[in-house]
Amino acid sequence: MSKTNPGHFFEDFQLGQELVHATPRTVTEGDGALYTALYGSRFAVSSSAEFARALGFRGAPLDDFLVFHVVFGKTVPDISLNAVANLGYARGRFGVPVYAGDTIRTTSRVIGLKETSSGKTGVVYVNSVGTNQLGEVVCDYVRWVMVHKRDPQTPAPDPVVPDLPERVGPEDLYVPEDLRLAGYDLELAGSPHLWEDYAPGERIDHVDGMTLEEAEHMMATRLWQNTAKVHFNQFEQAGGRFGRRLVYGGHVISLARALSFNGLGNAFRVAAINAGAHANPSFAGDTVHAWSEVLEAAPVPGRDDVGALRLRTVATKDRPCATFPHKDTDGRFLPEVVLDLDYWVLMPRHAALG
Amino acid sequence: MSKTNPGHFFEDFQLGQELVHATPRTVTEGDGALYTALYGSRFAVSSSAEFARALGFRGAPLDDFLVFHVVFGKTVPDISLNAVANLGYARGRFGVPVYAGDTIRTTSRVIGLKETSSGKTGVVYVNSVGTNQLGEVVCDYVRWVMVHKRDPQTPAPDPVVPDLPERVGPEDLYVPEDLRLAGYDLELAGSPHLWEDYAPGERIDHVDGMTLEEAEHMMATRLWQNTAKVHFNQFEQAGGRFGRRLVYGGHVISLARALSFNGLGNAFRVAAINAGAHANPSFAGDTVHAWSEVLEAAPVPGRDDVGALRLRTVATKDRPCATFPHKDTDGRFLPEVVLDLDYWVLMPRHAALG
Amino acid sequence: MSKTNPGHFFEDFQLGQELVHATPRTVTEGDGALYTALYGSRFAVSSSAEFARALGFRGAPLDDFLVFHVVFGKTVPDISLNAVANLGYARGRFGVPVYAGDTIRTTSRVIGLKETSSGKTGVVYVNSVGTNQLGEVVCDYVRWVMVHKRDPQTPAPDPVVPDLPERVGPEDLYVPEDLRLAGYDLELAGSPHLWEDYAPGERIDHVDGMTLEEAEHMMATRLWQNTAKVHFNQFEQAGGRFGRRLVYGGHVISLARALSFNGLGNAFRVAAINAGAHANPSFAGDTVHAWSEVLEAAPVPGRDDVGALRLRTVATKDRPCATFPHKDTDGRFLPEVVLDLDYWVLMPRHAALG
């Protein structure tokens, strides 16, 4: 019997099944430095332990998407090694901050199964939960992937599609109790614009562009111990659909988030992922730009120092975003659009700063 | 007089000579993160401090080959700056685990000298020993290199070729006394296969492939402070035999070891290097695959919770390993083979897990 | 109103103006590891905590130029986002050593302003000061940049050009009081040549060459949170003057400093930057070599264990430095010269080593 991991096929998943994913990971200051080197992130909370401590954090928390990528990476060998496509995300919530030295692990539960009409594949819905060494949730999300069947003849299971919210409610966003924004220094943060200064409908071109390199996306993806083959093996990809290695979609998410600093500099914390689409593939050599739209501005229950903004951030390849490129008249993503991410961020309110 | 290091020539080495190599190195969590980013290693002991502590380690030890590369890198300016070829390794033993914060240094002793028939070069055998700040051995190995003579007219020394064992005896493998494998979690480790499940003669295709990039192998090689010129200088290499920068052989070792997780996921510790050949050069753009053969399975004296497997891991370029490519009918390495490494790993036994 | 940073134009600067730059940065062992991976630095003080502690340091200080790049990077969004050219450096002094865990911030003061004859641009002189979390100065320097005017019609301010010294006086170099060089181990440092062994006029070819890669210079520049657009955006640069991304000048400084180990291995500390010119642009694919000339050798007041050397280090692209390439007969930099850096280093004296 082969000792290598063949991945799971559609038939291998059962409703309610619990998967304990391998390779717990102690994240370190080394991961933090690499994150800065790969994306150039400038949000002060993750950049400066002093800045973070002034707000009640224990130290500089690691970037929220770094946490997401680590939690996500563990699921790949069990969930998406035989995936045809990563179809969507929903109900993603970030939990307690993650600090250097914490150890992250992930478990997933199968919450939906639906064979596709072709009979050759099926869609698997999983709820993946990342926890730290104390068992506290650091990130919790649903994703669904299309997975090959081992055998097209296997009868289809009863279709179960979970009922997923369009977005996480603002009342469900996790805000650390110890967080006190009176200590937030706008000059050091690098932007004067606070929660009240953003209004639904507002669109922001993040201006800057960043070109992708093979060495960078591969180093990033390995750092998250994500084993999806399409990112690493040029010998095999040369004969594939694109002839190239595909960039991990999460790499583009982190890049877009880092670019969004220019216009959203006080969005110090990503609180939730409502939905996300990797609209088109990205490749080394592509230059990524991004723009954002404010979808909602919601107060955070019980707090007057911090508010939540629901954002759509769109990333493009080889196309600047001054005209906010998104979809065509038929509602299809433009070919230059590589990411459409719907998420909540936290931002200080004027009240906090006296 | 020039103040730059010309390296040593064959005439500069004397039997019994002791070389204290420069540049002691404090290894850190930053090195660990880079190691993961460069190779994507998933062995749980080095990935998770919690997992490691459950086995009696102080924390997550740094990867064994990271230690080897650091120990090895220090020897390059003194031993192999004028090397024509790295001919072989023998009797390599890993010692106490290395943790972030430890400081490594290396000394070498010349244990053999033999001029080659051309009279222009000679083979130098050195025993290099890496130690930590407490003087404990972390890695100890023999290698031999062919080195230029400064002057072909210099008379040859009496040839001395050390008597080197074909392999380290299983009784000589270092197993930390505090190691207790009862705490080993197979689910988190990511593989159900234990020591008893592997039999001599068994061959495993590690399936996955990884493409090499210039930025990656250069970053790795500099990280080990290895100064061998052929890896870094395209201007010079353009006029050389291959027209390209050569990838440090150790980079391929680490990549092959990381790929071997898929099939050998519980090989939590490399205990010894018996022999190794960099069969053909690797270059950026090559895609590395690997396969392994179990050469021996040996119990570890005095322990029923851990066993040793002697493995041959072969890495190839631009050739998948389903057919276990190795040598041609004349016993010569196939041109696609880039590494043949004979080494011991430790693996938990069923007894450990009750 | 746009929420993105348009950068400052010449009209936005006033004499005496104080700028508190954003994004304080806690530097870590992760940054140190990346620095080694990017440049291959081998100076023992920054490589080994044990070596450093033997000299009175608290641990291994981070590389001096790492500190410079972090301090400098913070100034870019406010000073040089609209810069036409980085014209020069002067009076740069390194202060207290920086250790992993320290948090660095930068403030700048405008000390000179002068419109250029075209009326379209002006030169801004700033004194930038980097401090740690205790408010201690870690790096303090002057640079001047040519910046676009927002409107060519704006009247010119009274020209003020600061009086800048040709070089920092040796009496002004910062030497940590606790530094005691009796513990300096020449064998571990990797060079036998001490302060007394270098004489003004001496020139050293550092021999080795290092080829630049896009992924490397971008990772480095992002690590310093330097946002200058020309380094990152190939889509935009494709239509620019060079058609390519430019390598951050500081990347070449660090590379040249690392190469200078071969010949200046005991220059354990950069104490001051007297002047510097990025003579020509560098691009990925260029191979960098370097040579140095000793400009002055000065004792350090009150100390017989350490001396100062004033060096000129010149870096080239695609040209080895055996013939010390520098300027043509008209005094212009040769087209292969990419860096001319005039700086002070500290080196142990024979007296220290008894």
What does pLDDT average to over chain C?
Answer: 96
d(CA C245, CA C233): 7
Rounded to whole angstroms, the Cα distance separating B34 from B30 reads 6
Read off the pLDDT band of C1 (50, 70, 90). low
Mean pLDDT across C115-137: 97
Label residue C2 by pLDDT band (50, 70, 90).
confident
Position A82 pLDDT exceeds 90: no
Distance from CA of C67 to the nearest CA of A (A): 14
Least confident of A329-338, B233-242, C76-85, C168-177: C76-85
How far apart, in Å, are the Cα atoms of B238 and each of A257, C322, C339?
40, 19, 24
How far is the C-alpha of C222 from the C-alpha of C73, rounded, in Å? 9
CB nearest A29 (choices: B29, B264, B265) = B29
Q: List the chains bordering chain C where 3 or more Cβ pairs fall under 8 Å.
A: A, B
Strands, E assignment, B64-136: 83-94, 103-115, 121-131
Query: Within an 8 Å CB–CB cutoff, is residue C5 touching chain A?
Result: yes
Contact state of C187 with B20 under an 8 Å Cβ cutoff: yes
Angle at B170 between CA B168 and CA B172, to 5 degrees: 70
Is the per-residue pLDDT at A83 higher than 90?
A: no
What pLDDT digit, counting tens, does each position of A141-189 carry?
A: 999 999 999 999 999 999 999 999 999 999 999 999 899 999 999 999 9
**DSSP state, residue B100:** T
What angle do the packed helices C64-75 and C29-39 form, to 10 degrees? 100
Tokens 């951050």, located at residue: C248
What gap in Å lies between CA B294 and CA B257, rounded to an integer? 14
List, in order, residues 6 or more apart from B155 with CB less than 8 Å away: none
Nearest CA in chain C to A318: C235
CA–CA dist B21, B76 (Å, integer): 9
First to last CA, chain A: 67
Q: Which of A35, A41, A50 to mutate to test the interface with C (most CBs of C within 10 A)?
A: A50
On the 0-12 / 13-18 / 19+ scale of CB atoms within 10 A, A197 is middle
Dist CA B136 CA B130 (whole Å): 8
DSSP C327: B
Average pLDDT score, chain A: 96
What mean pLDDT is predicted for residues C236-253?
96
Q: Please indicate if any CB of chain B lies within 8 Å of the CB of C265.
A: yes
pLDDT > 90? residue A215: yes
User: What is the mean predicted confidence (pLDDT) over C225-244?
Assistant: 95
Q: Comparing C352 with A212, which gets the higher pLDDT?
A: A212
> Which amino acid appears at position B87 of this protein?
L
Interface test with B, best of A38, A217, A219 (most B CBs within 10 A): A219
Residue listed under structure tokens 């190469």: C259
Q: Is B227 on the interface with C (CB under 8 A)?
A: yes
The per-residue pLDDT for C7 is 87
**d(C-alpha B333, C-alpha B337), whole Å:** 6
Say yes or no to pLDDT of A197 above 80: yes
The tokens describing C70, both together, are: 């972090």
Mean pLDDT of chain B: 96
Total length of chain B? 354
Is the CB of residue A134 less than 8 Å away from at least one CB of chain C? Answer: no
In chain A, which residue's Cα lies nearest the Cα of C220? A37
For residue A43, is pLDDT > 90? Answer: yes
Element (H, E) at B294: strand B287-299
pLDDT-based confidence at residue A6 (cuts at 50, 70, 90) = confident
d(CA C302, CA C308): 13
- Split at pLDDT 50, 70, 90, the class of B82 is confident
Return the pLDDT at A1: 58
**What pLDDT score does B353 carry?**
85
Chain C residues with beta carbon closer than 8 angstroms to that of B235: 209, 211, 287, 318, 320
Give the dihedral of Cα atoms A75, A77, A81, A86; nearest 10 deg: 10
Structure tokens at A243: 């002839």
- The Cβ of residue C200 has, within 10 Å, a number of other Cβ atoms equal to 12
Q: How far apart are CA A315 and CA A339, in angstroms?
A: 5
Strands C203-205 and B25-26: unpaired
Alpha helices in B225-310, H assignment, sequence order: 234-237, 249-259, 261-264
| Rounded mean pLDDT, B186-200 | 97
Q: Which residues of C296-306 are buried (b: 16+ CB within 10 A; e: fewer)?
A: ebbebeebebb
Q: Does C245 touch chain B (CB under 8 A)?
A: no
pLDDT, residue C6, reads 83
Q: For residue range C42-95, what is the model confidence (pLDDT) as tens digits?
A: 999 999 999 999 999 999 999 999 999 999 999 999 998 878 888 999 999 999
Letter for the amino acid at A20? V
List Cα–Cα distances, B191 to B41, B266, B299, C191, in angstroms.
Answer: 14, 6, 20, 48
Q: What is the pLDDT of residue B1?
A: 57
Contact across the interface for C263 and B4, Cβ inside 8 Å: yes
Maximal CA-CA distance, chain A:
67
**Residue C53, pLDDT score:** 98
Residue B150 identity: R
Spatial CB neighbours of C79, under 8 Å, sequence gap ≥ 6: C8, C19, C108, C124, C126, C128, C145, C147
C352: distance to nearest CA of chain B, Å?
A: 19
Q: Note whether B3 contacts C: Cβ–Cβ < 8 A.
A: yes
Domains identified in chain B and CATH numbers? 1-150 (3.10.129.10), 192-354 (3.10.129.10)
- Going by pLDDT thresholds of 50, 70 and 90, the confidence category of residue B352 is confident
Q: Which residue, among A275, A272, A280, has the nearest Cα to A252 in the 3D structure?
A: A280
Give the pLDDT mean for A90-113: 98
DSSP A138-177: EEEEEEEEEEE-S-TTSPPPPPB-----SS--GGG----T
Kindly state the average pLDDT of the residues B184-200. 97
Q: How far is A228 from chain B (nearest CA, A)?
A: 10
> Measured between CA atoms, how close is C293 to chain A, in angstroms?
33
What whole-number distance in Å separates Cα of residue B285 and Cα of residue A235?
9
- The candidate with the shortest Cα–Cα distance to A12, out of A113, A108, A91, A93, is A113
Give alpha helix (H) positions in C76-162: none
Residue C21 contacts residue C80 (beta carbons within 8 Å)? no
Scanning every residue of chain B, which has its alpha carbon at the shortest distance from the alpha carbon of C27? B30
> From the candidates C50, C207, C222, C338, which should be mutated to test the interface with B, based on the most B CB atoms within 10 A?
C50
Task: Please give the residue of chain A at the shortest CA–CA distance from B41.
Answer: A225
* Mean pLDDT computed over B60-65: 98
In Å, how far is C23's CA from the nearest CA of chain A?
5
Which A-chain residues 6-65 have CB contacts (< 8 A) with chain C? 28-34, 36-40, 42, 44, 47-51, 60
B211 touches chain C (CB under 8 A): no
Whether the Cβ atoms of residue A212 and residue A40 lie closer than 8 Å to each other: no
Reported as type and span, the H/E element at residue B68 is helix B64-75
Nearest CB among C29, C32, C206 relative to B4 is that of: C206
Between CA B144 and CA B86 the distance in angstroms is 6
β-bridge partners, C159? none
Q: What mean pLDDT comes out for the span C211-226? A: 98
Whether B221 and B230 have beta carbons less than 8 Å apart is answered as no
Interchain proximity B215–C216, CB inside 8 Å:
yes
- Output helix, strand, coil percentages for chain B, rounded to the nearest 5: 25, 30, 45
Rounded to whole angstroms, how far apart are CA atoms C314 and C297? Answer: 18
Chain C contact for A264, CB < 8 A? yes
Q: Using one digit for the tens of pLDDT, what is the confidence trace for B4-34?
A: 988 899 999 999 999 999 999 999 999 999 9
Element (H, E) at C71: helix C64-75
Predicted confidence band at A84 (pLDDT cuts at 50, 70, 90)?
confident
Residues 6+ apart with CB under 8 A from A48: A60, A188, C23, C24, C25, C26, C103, C105
Helix or strand run (H / E) with residue A34 = helix A29-39
Residue A24's pLDDT band (cuts 50, 70, 90) = very high
